Amino acid sequence: MHRYALRFTALGYLLVVLLAPLSMVFWRAFDDGAGHLWRSLSDPNTVHAFKVTLLITAIAVPLNTLFGVICALAIVRQRFPGAGIVNALVDLPLALSPVVVGLSLFLLFGRTGWFGPWFDEHGIQILFALPSMVIATIFVSLPFVAREVVPTLREIGDEQEQAAHTLGAGPWATFWRITLPSIRWAVIYGVVLTTARCLGEYGAVAVVSGHIEGQTETATLRVQDAYENFDLPGAYGISLVLAVLSVAVLVAMTLLKPKEAR
Amino acid sequence: MPASEGAAKALSLGFTTAYLSLIVVLPIAALVWASRADGVSSFWTVVTAPEAVAALKLSLGAAAVVAGLNAVLGTITAWVLVRDEFRGKELVNAVIDLPFALPTIVAGLTLLALYGPSSPIGIDIAFTRTAIVAALLFVTLPFVVRTVQPVLLELEPETEEAARSLGAGELRVFRSIVLPNILPGVLSGVALAFARAVGEIGALVLISGNLPFRTEVASVFVFTHIESGDQAGAAAVAVVMLAISFAVLLAIGGVRFLATRHERA
Amino acid sequence: MSISVRNVSKCFGDFQALDDVSVEVASGSLTALLGPSGSGKSTLLRIVAGLEQPDTGDVLLAGQHATTVAPQRRGVGFVFQHYAAFKHMTVRNNVAFGLKIRKRTRTEIAARVDELLDLVQLQGFGDRYPSQLSGGQRQRMALARALAPEPKVLLLDEPFGALDARVRSELRVWLRRLHDETHTTTVFVTHDQEEAMDVADRVVVMNKGHIEQVDAPRVLYDAPANEFVMGFVGQANRFGEGWVRPHDLDVVSEPDESTREGQVLRVVHLGFEVRAELVGDDGEPFSVQLTRDQAEELELEQGQIVYVRPNRTRAFA
Least Cα distance to B162 among C78, C44, C43, C160 occurs for C78
Q: How far apart are CA A190 and CA A256, in angstroms?
A: 10
Q: Is the pLDDT assigned to residue B264 strictly greater than 80? A: no
- Chain segment C133-142, per-residue pLDDT in tens: 999 999 999 9
Q: How large is the average pLDDT for residues C120-136?
A: 93
How much is the CA Rg of chain B, to the nearest whole Å? 22
Q: What is the ipTM of this complex?
A: 0.90
Q: How far apart are CA B228 and CA B87, in angstroms?
A: 53
- DSSP codes of every residue in A6-69: HHHHHHHHHIIIIIHHHHHHHHHHTTT-HHHHHHHHT-HHHHHHHHHHHHHHHHHHHHHHHHHH
DSSP single-letter state for residue C186:
E
- Chain segment B15-72, per-residue pLDDT in tens: 999 999 999 999 999 999 888 877 778 888 888 889 999 999 999 999 999 999 999 9
- Look at B111 and A21 and tell me if their CB atoms are within 8 Å: yes
Q: How far apart are CA B12 and CA B9, in angstroms?
A: 5
Rounded to the nearest angstrom, the minimum Cα separation between B220 and chain C is 43
Q: How large is the average pLDDT for residues C214-236?
A: 91
Which of C61, C74, C86 to mutate to test binding with chain B, by most B CBs within 10 Å of its CB?
C86
Establish, for the pair of chains B and C, how many residue pairs have beta carbons separated by less than 8 Å: 70
Q: How far apart are CA C178 and CA C184, in angstroms?
A: 9
- Look at A207 and B84 and tell me if their CB atoms are within 8 Å: no
**pTM > 0.90:** no
- From chain C residues 27-56, the ones with a CB under 8 A of any chain B CB are 49-51
- Chain segment C34-60, per-residue pLDDT in tens: 999 989 999 999 999 999 999 999 999
Establish, for the pair of chains A and B, how many residue pairs have beta carbons separated by less than 8 Å: 265
A180 has a chain B CB within 8 A of its CB:
no
Q: How far apart are CA A110 and CA A126, in angstroms?
A: 9
Q: What contacts B219, CB < 8 A, 6 or more positions away?
A: A97, A98, A99, A100, A203, B59, B198, B199, B200, B201, B204, B241
- Chain segment C75-109, per-residue pLDDT in tens: 899 999 999 999 999 999 999 999 999 988 999 99
Contact between A113 and A107 under an 8 Å Cβ cutoff? The reply is yes
Rounded to the nearest angstrom, the minimum Cα separation between C190 and chain B is 18
- Max CA-CA distance within chain B? 71
Which phi and psi angles does B133 have, rounded to 5°?
-60, -40
- Look at A89 and B25 and tell me if their CB atoms are within 8 Å: yes
- Sign of the dihedral through C-alpha A123, A124, A125, A127: negative
Contact between B138 and B109 under an 8 Å Cβ cutoff? The reply is no
Of C50, C82, C101, the CB nearest to B158: C82
Q: How far apart are CA A210 and CA A108, in angstroms?
A: 16
C78 has a chain B CB within 8 A of its CB:
yes
Count, in order, helices (H) and strands (E) of chain A.
Answer: 15, 0
The Cβ of residue B213 has, within 10 Å, a number of other Cβ atoms equal to 12
Q: In chain B, whose CA is at the least distance from the CA of C153?
A: B165
B262 has a chain C CB within 8 A of its CB:
yes
Q: How confident is the model at residue B265 (pLDDT cuts 50, 70, 90)?
A: very low
- Partners for B (CB, 8 Å, 3+ pairs)? A, C
- Look at A21 and B80 and tell me if their CB atoms are within 8 Å: no
CA distances from A237 to A42, A233, B98, B106, B119 (A): 10, 6, 19, 10, 18
- Look at B24 and A235 and tell me if their CB atoms are within 8 Å: no
| Mean confidence (pLDDT) of chain C | 91
B176 has a chain C CB within 8 A of its CB:
yes
How much is the CA Rg of chain C, to the nearest whole Å? 24
Q: What contacts C305, CB < 8 A, 6 or more positions away?
A: C261, C262, C263, C264
B85 has a chain C CB within 8 A of its CB:
no
Which of B26, B106, B219 to mutate to test binding with chain A, by most A CBs within 10 Å of its CB?
B106
Q: In chain A, whose CA is at the least distance from the CA of B29?
A: A104
